[in-house]
Amino acid sequence: MRKQLLFIFNPKAGRGEIKNALFSIINVFSQAGYVVTLCPTQEAGQVGELIRTELLDKDRLVISGGDGTLNEAVTALMQWNPSLPFGYIPAGTVNDFAASMNLSKNKQRAAEMIVSGKPFAFDVGQIGDRYFAYVAAFGAFSEVSYTTPQQYKNIFGRAAYFLEGISRLGKIKSYPLQVEYPEGVIEDEFIFGMVTNSVSVGGFSFSKRANIALNDGLFEVCLIKIPKNPIELQSIINALLWQKPDPALMYTFKASWLRIRSEAEMDWTLDGEFGGNTTDTILKNNKEALKILIPEENPTKQIEEPDKQRPELTEPQIESAHPESE
């Protein structure tokens, strides 16, 4: 009996190029012995429902779309079937997660990697009952990815994010925060923060890849303080561009969990999509929670061992903070 494969794809992701590659993708899966069920999404939020209703009698799951489509799939799998390895064919504008996993941008090649690949267990972030594959962010520019019109992304690609970001330079807001993590508490005022499990965010790759592992149970955290003058703002921009953190203007560290308290509600972005708002946010790293199919030669692996001397503190209960969604 032939194996069954569920292929969920977003036909509007990126420039809609997935539609031109469907025959070659299905042919790869068919030659590998799969009967393919195609499920194009019609609207945002549909991926989870398709996984819940269509995956029951299938042997393999493959997702194709941008980071938003991926986020829906990650959330659904964490809720209903975290043990099932899945394949991912990147088809978005930036595809940060795919860059971290070294997945091919060529869609036929990506399909070939899936049928011949091996499962790799990666960390999944969590805020309340929401999940994220590679980044949770707040503050300046964090909403650019989900407020940039899709037609601009399709026409201008990555440049669309820059154009949208520049239009928001005069609207930077700061947040007085208390940030608790395993090694202590930070109290300061910030304009931006990101909690990542990725070697690429916003299309920019981090050069010091050897210091980042996608399966070590730790987030990479960057919190940027409010600049006091234009010179400090330029210093922050330079630090980000050159990937050299400035300890006078930002905090960078690793953590398995964080609790962030603010006086006013903060909007969060999860994998480039709106992730709700809250004044008390608990972020948890679920170590090696999901498995993605990657090529045999993929160098993605844990390079550093977690710090065994880290103080043992009680992890806060994740149920105590639930972002409110629209």
- Per-residue pLDDT of 34-93, as tens digits, reads 999 999 998 888 999 999 999 988 999 999 998 889 999 999 999 999 999 999 999 877
Average pLDDT over residues 28-38: 96
Q: What are phi and psi of 248, to 5 degrees?
A: -80, -20
- Asked if 218 and 154 sit in the same domain, the reply is yes
- Asked if 70 and 172 sit in the same domain, the reply is no
Report which DSSP code applies to 146.
Answer: H
Gap between the Cα atoms of 152 and 138, Å rounded: 23
- Asked if 145 and 282 sit in the same domain, the reply is yes
Tell me the pLDDT band of 31, cut-offs 50, 70 and 90: very high
Q: Is residue 326 part of a domain?
A: no
List Cβ neighbours of 171 (8 Å cut-off, separation of 6 or more). Answer: none
pLDDT at 200: 60
* CATH code, 231: 2.60.200.40
Residue 267: both structure tokens together = 């909007």
Among 76, 104, 122, identify where a domain stops. Answer: 122
Lowest mean pLDDT among 101-110, 183-192, 309-318: 309-318
Tell me the pLDDT band of 224, cut-offs 50, 70 and 90: confident
- Asked if 211 and 238 sit in the same domain, the reply is yes
Residue 162 parent element (H or E) = helix 159-166
Total structural domains in the chain?
2
Average pLDDT over residues 186-208: 74
pLDDT at 308: 35
Strand 175-181 with 130-132, pairing: unpaired
- Residue 108: pLDDT over 70: yes
List Cβ neighbours of 139 (8 Å cut-off, separation of 6 or more). Answer: 173, 175, 190, 191, 192, 193, 224, 266
What is the reported pTM? 0.79
Among 79, 103, 122, identify where a domain stops. Answer: 122
- Asked if 85 and 16 sit in the same domain, the reply is yes
Tell me the pLDDT band of 21, cut-offs 50, 70 and 90: very high
pLDDT at 141: 55
pLDDT at 156: 35
For 313, the domain range is 130-287+305-320
- Asked if 108 and 149 sit in the same domain, the reply is no
Gap between the Cα atoms of 74 and 69, Å rounded: 9
Gap between the Cα atoms of 48 and 196, Å rounded: 23
pLDDT in tens, 138-192: 886 544 443 444 443 443 334 333 334 434 445 677 889 999 999 999 999 998 8
- Asked if 194 and 95 sit in the same domain, the reply is no
- Asked if 206 and 242 sit in the same domain, the reply is yes
Radius of gyration of the chain (CA): 20
Among 90, 122, 154, identify where a domain stops. Answer: 122
Residues 89 and 300 sit within 8 Å (Cβ to Cβ): no
pLDDT at 164: 43
- Asked if 53 and 73 sit in the same domain, the reply is yes
Tell me the pLDDT band of 322, cut-offs 50, 70 and 90: very low
pLDDT in tens, 261-309: 999 888 898 987 888 889 999 999 999 999 999 987 665 544 333 333 3
Q: Within a 10 A sphere around the Cβ of 41, how many other Cβ atoms?
A: 21
Residues 74 and 132 sit within 8 Å (Cβ to Cβ): yes
- Asked if 64 and 105 sit in the same domain, the reply is yes
* CATH code, 57: 3.40.50.10330
